[in-house]
A and B are shown apart, each in its own frame.
Chain A
Amino acid sequence: MIIKGKTYKFVNGNDINTDLIIAGKYTKTLDMNELASHVFEDLDSSLLEVIKSKIIIAGENFGCGSSREQAPLALSYAGVKAVVAKSFARIFYRNAINIGLPVIIANTNLLNNDQEINIDLVQGILSFKETNDFIILNNMPTIMIDILNKGGLVKYLKDEGQFRI
């Protein structure tokens, strides 16, 4: 699985919590476009336009807080292609993969705003288009790659009927 795109890097990228990604008052809906229209609203409502088709670059503990899957859903429906962070909150990380939003752990000090990057999840390589530099990523467990390859857990379980490791 290969993801290509331009980066959007948060200036203060640590501890971006699920309430900031999508406020609790907007989570009670099944209309995902409506949900996505409120992404990052409390943080900076102009981000909705900025992050479209981008790869988000953040710091430590991205997605901490609530178990709300609406957080990765809002990002995904807002057009975010992937999130690269130094670390993720556990539930957010799993939720993102379950809904098919790629999440990548890397030292994001090495990444800047507005860079073209390629991420190869199976090989575990993040490369920069302009310089041909690359970063080696930690291997993702096979089950996670399998779920991402299916586009999320729904399709994975629909096809497989059960978990396999």
Chain B
Amino acid sequence: MTYTVVEKIINSHCVAGIVKPGNIVIVEVDFIMASDTTAPIAIKAFKEMNGIHVFDAKKMAIVIDHATPCPNNKIANLHKNIRDFAYEQEIILYDEGEGICHQLIYENNHVKTGSIVLGADSHTCTYGAWGSFSSGVGATDLAGVMLTGKTWMKVPDSILINIKGNFNEGVFAKDLILYLSRLIGANGASYKVLEFCVDKDTQLRMDEKLTIANMSIEMGAKAGIFQTFDIVPDDNAKYEKMIEINLSKIEPMIAVPHYVDNVYPVSEYIGIPIDQVFIGSCTNGRLEDLEVVAKILKGKKIPKNVRMRIAPASKKILEKISENGVLNILLQSGAIILTPGCGPCVGTLGGIPADGEKVLSTSNRNFLGRMGNKEAEIYLCSPATAAWSALHGKLIDPRLEE
């Protein structure tokens, strides 16, 4: 048997079944995670399954991030339930304000290369950036792992994406993943894994890999995974198909309402007026993203008719930007800084747009109603495109400015 990267990982965790695409197997799971959206149902299901102790308290984290700071009494009570459960079970808890779940799992090194991770959040696929087979599941599925430490899964086919070349000035990882989304389509990778192989002469930092792996789910993928030195595919491993990408050919891209695969070159949409800009999310709320934004905004003012909201992906990032001067640049440009967390991305709080407004967002979904108002339009782009456009009050191709 020759194996792809994911097949190798599944094989090393398999306790029943034969690892071959399409087969059902049972695997051991190394780490699990839930957010404040999914934990309440997972906890309830776990208790209804007669669960007493989580299979391994060191292997589970709950992050209170989707509705923070807590906007109302109902959610406050759910948050309290989560805290009570986490203390009682002695599992890892990241409370309000510490950041977005996927950033915290990364920053705190909870997940190793070659591990299997399930998170009750669809962007759990982010951890593929360093070669973990990580996938999003629902709350009851997570409860099943809380109880047994295992799960069942269908062994997925893989699509190999060979990445060569380097980005031109003004082009970023977000543009690549939006480009792929257009190429592959919203369900073009359904049930499959996107396996990324990066050429030795290509520079791709960890934050860029995180952005790319993060949005694999937008093509329906079970996971997106980067090859690492530790786990390479066997020669002749079977891929369903291969895609060749040269980064130097990618240009700034934008996803227009209301689908993530509704993607076009920014150059085709130049000039559309912008009311609000959101910089943040588990896709593009990292230190490197905020530094790019600060470089563009330095010494300039965002016009009065544009609101720019920035939510750093974690408290650590917020600390870093307050040390290195980026925070001041952002504040002086007129940007509003929000609590590290998910709020605006998922429309729970902290930046709901008005009817008819157009929002340029660095997050990962532009679905109708995603930011809390179905009468608003969401466009997805890179932090650089978002920052330049904020300054002009309309969509700008960052290459024209840099």
Contact = CB atoms under 8 A, between A and B. Distances in A.
B92 interface: no
Contacts of B365: 19, 65-66
Contacts of B16: 165
Given A153-B143, A165-B26, A98 B138 contact: yes
B198 interface: no
A91 B140 CA distance: 11
Interface stretch (B37-45, B240-248, B290-298, B380-388): B37-45
Given A69-B41, A91-B122, A91-B136, A153 B368 contact: no
A25 B187 CA distance: 25
A95 B74 contact: no
Contacts of A91: 122, 136-138
B270 interface: no
Contacts of A141: 24, 154
Contact of A94 (B36, B137, B190, B369): B137
Given A15-B259, A87-B187, A162-B148, A68 B143 contact: no
A25 B24 contact: no
B144 A163 contact: yes
A89 interface: yes
A157 B190 CA distance: 27
Contact-residue size bin, chain A (C-beta under 8 Å from the other chain): 35 or more
A7 interface: no
A29 B75 CA distance: 7
Contacts of B26: 163, 165
A162 B50 CA distance: 12
A163 B138 contact: no
Contacts of B143: 153-154, 157
Contacts of A161: 148
Contact of B78 (A23, A30, A70, A152): A30
B152 interface: yes
B85 interface: no
B367 A17 contact: yes
B120 A67 contact: yes
Interface in B25-64: 25-26, 36-38, 40-41, 44-45, 48-50
A72 B137 CA distance: 13
A28 B50 contact: no
Interface in A120-165: 141, 143, 152-154, 157-158, 161-163, 165
11 contacts: A24-B372, A28-B37, A28-B74, A43-B368, A61-B190, A70-B41, A90-B220, A98-B138, A157-B143, A163-B26, A163-B152
Interface of A: 15, 17, 19-20, 23-25, 27-30, 42-43, 60-61, 64-70, 72-73, 87, 89-91, 94-95, 98-99, 141, 143, 152-154, 157-158, 161-163, 165
Interface of B: 16-17, 24-26, 36-38, 40-41, 44-45, 48-50, 66-67, 74-75, 78, 119-122, 124, 136-141, 143-144, 147-148, 150-152, 154, 186-187, 190-191, 220, 222, 259, 346-348, 365, 367-370, 372, 374
Given A66-B121, A68-B138, A69-B120, 11 more contacts: A15-B259, A30-B41, A30-B78, A61-B187, A67-B122, A87-B190, A89-B220, A153-B140, A153-B143, A157-B148, A162-B148
